[in-house]
Amino acid sequence: MAKRSPRISITRAYAAAKAAAAGEYRVLVDRLWPRGVSKDSLHLDEWRKEIAPTAELRRWFGHREDRWDEFRIRYAAELAEKKDDLKELRSLPAKHHLVLLYGARDEEHNNAVVLRDVLLRRRIRKST
């Protein structure tokens, strides 16, 4: 029997202001609450501040695309220190569709992208 891929997706918090679909488990993965978004509108199951990049790393990155490769490596290293948190999140897709919510404007260069790749055990390395 083929192993089923975990169901993990990422969605910008500002686009998630609708009721969660059946089977979704929504986790906000930012250290800061998304500005202007009410808690009720996100329909969150959890807010995992502790798994977000450190304040120092977040400030250094500053959502500068030229720092993306290095941010991915540094954040993956931070996540490697949070094995218990990763284990808990990895166990969710077996029961639910895990939706990682984030607040950044850039949909391709944000911490949720890195976290999803780490959860799916994709290799984090510099792009060429």
Task: Quickly state the pLDDT bin for 104 (edges 50, 70, 90).
Answer: very high
Task: Quickly state the pLDDT bin for 128 (edges 50, 70, 90).
Answer: very low
Task: Quickly state the pLDDT bin for 108 (edges 50, 70, 90).
Answer: very high
The residues near 29 (Cβ < 8 Å, ≥ 6 apart) are 48, 51, 52, 100, 101, 102, 111, 112, 115
In terms of pLDDT, which residue wins out, 95 or 127? Answer: 95
What was the pLDDT predicted at 10?
94
In terms of pLDDT, which residue wins out, 51 or 20? Answer: 51
What was the pLDDT predicted at 95?
79
